[in-house]
Amino acid sequence: MRIRENVSLRQYNTFGINVAARYFAAFNNTDELSARLEENPRIHKIIIGGGSNILFTKDVDGMVLKNEMMGIEVLKEDNDYVYVRAAAGENWHGFVQYCIQRNWGGIENLSLIPGCVGAAPMQNIGAYGVELQEVFEGLTAFHIRDMKMQHFGPSDCAFGYRDSVFKKEYRNRFIILDVTFRLLKKPVFHTSYGAIRQELEKMGVKELSVQAVSRAVINIRRSKLPDPAVIGNAGSFFKNPEITVEQFQTLEKLYPEMPHYPVKKYPSSADNDSGRVKIAAGWLIEQCGWKGFRNGDAGVHVSQALVLVNYGKAKGSDIYRLSEEIVQSVQKKFGIILDREVNIL
C-alpha cells in the first residue's frame, strides 16, 4: 500500500476535525506494516483504527498508520468456552454481530460501540455493565522500534477503567495486530445496568438471549447517543470520576441527588468492596450549566452533557479549550478533577 502525503484526516476521525497528516498509509498485513516501518525509521508514527476515540488538536508531523488487517478465526473450544481471534482492523460492532449470530456470549452488552477491534483493549472498552477485560484472553502486538511481535496475556495489560498499559507507557510503542476473546457457549446475561431490563420488556422479550440483549443495547444507544455521521463526536469525552467514600459522604450532604455507583473490581461481578465511589461525570457537567452550550462550532451535546460535539468546522483546539473550561468549572464547584477519556493528539 503506497504512502500518501499531506492527507486530510477529516474522514478518519469521528469528530470530523480537519487536520492533515504529513504521511498516511494503511496496511493489510504485517509485511506491509514492516515495510512501512523499515522505510521510515525516524518518522513519528501514530496508529489509528476507526478514529472514534481521538481528538486531533494539530496537524500530524509524522505518519498516520491505519490498521486494516482483517479476519476472524476460532482457535479452540471446550464445553464452556470458544476462543476467537479477530484481526485489529475488524469493525468492532461487526465482530460483536458475528459472535451473536453464533450464540457466543460475553460481548453483547458492548454492541454498537464504534471503532475497530485493535483499539478495544487499548482503553478496555466498556458499556452497560461489561468491560472488555472480562472476555479478554490475549493479544499480539508489534513493537515499532524493535520490529518484533509480542504476546500479551490479561495480566500484562494492566486493565483498568477505560485504561490499559497501551494507553500509558506503551502508547505509540506497540501496534496491536489481533485480539483473542474467551466467549461463553452458555451465556450469562447482564441486564441490571441502565435501562436494559425495561427495554427488553418494551420489546416483549420473554426469554433472554444474546441477540435480544444486543438488540436492547442497540435500541438504547440509538435513542441516547449522537450519531457521528450526523454530528461530530467521540462518545463520552470524560471518564466518570472515582472518589473515596469519605469524599463522597461530604459531597452527598450538599448534593443528595448526585448519581453514584459503587466501584467494582469487574463491572459485572458482585464484588464491590473497592472503597471507592463512581460519580456520573455527565451530571457534574450538567450541574455546571454546560449542557447544550455552544461556542462557534464547538459544543456540549444538547441531551448528553458528557459528549462534546463538532457542529461542522470546529478545530480540535476549540474542542480541547472547551473541555479545559469544563474541567475547571467542575473542579471549582465539586472539587473533582475530570479525566479525559478521549485520546488527545
Ligand X SMILES: Cc1cc2nc3c(=O)[nH]c(=O)nc-3n(C[C@H](O)[C@H](O)[C@H](O)COP(=O)(O)OP(=O)(O)OC[C@H]3O[C@@H](n4cnc5c(N)ncnc54)[C@H](O)[C@@H]3O)c2cc1C
| Catalytic sites, residue numbers | 162, 236, 341
The span from the CA of 75 to the CA of 137, in Å, is: 11
Does residue 123 belong to the site contacting ligand X (CB under 6 A)? yes
Query: Angle formed by the axes of helices 210-224 and 92-101, to 10°?
Result: 150
105 or 114: CB nearest ligand X: 114
Q: What's the closest the beta carbon of residue 281 comes to ligand X, in angstroms?
A: 13
**What mask, x for binding ligand X by CB under 6 A, covers residues 13 to 42?**
-x----------------------------
Amino acid letter, residue 148: K
Q: What is the largest CA-CA distance in the chain?
A: 61
Q: What's the closest the beta carbon of residue 212 comes to ligand X, in angstroms?
A: 19
Burial class (CB in 10 A: 0-12, 13-18, 19+), 324: exposed
> Could you tell me the end-to-end alpha-carbon distance of the chain, in angstroms, rounded to an integer?
24
Identify whether the C-beta of residue 301 lies closer than 8 Å to the C-beta of residue 308.
yes
Does residue 235 belong to the site contacting ligand X (CB under 6 A)? yes
- The cell numbers describing 63, all together, are 505518519
Does residue 133 belong to the site contacting ligand X (CB under 6 A)? no
Among positions 7, 27, 50, 86, the unique one binding ligand X when judged by CB under 6 A:
50
**Under rule CB under 6 A, which residues in 147-206 are in contact with ligand X?**
166, 175-176
The residues facing 5 across adjacent strands are 23
What DSSP designation does 14 have?
Answer: T
Among positions 37, 86, 107, 122, the unique one binding ligand X when judged by CB under 6 A:
122
Does residue 267 belong to the site contacting ligand X (CB under 6 A)? no
127 or 277: CB nearest ligand X: 127
Residues that bind ligand X (CB under 6 A): 14, 46-54, 67, 88, 113-116, 118-120, 122-123, 125-127, 166, 175-176, 225, 228, 233-235, 343
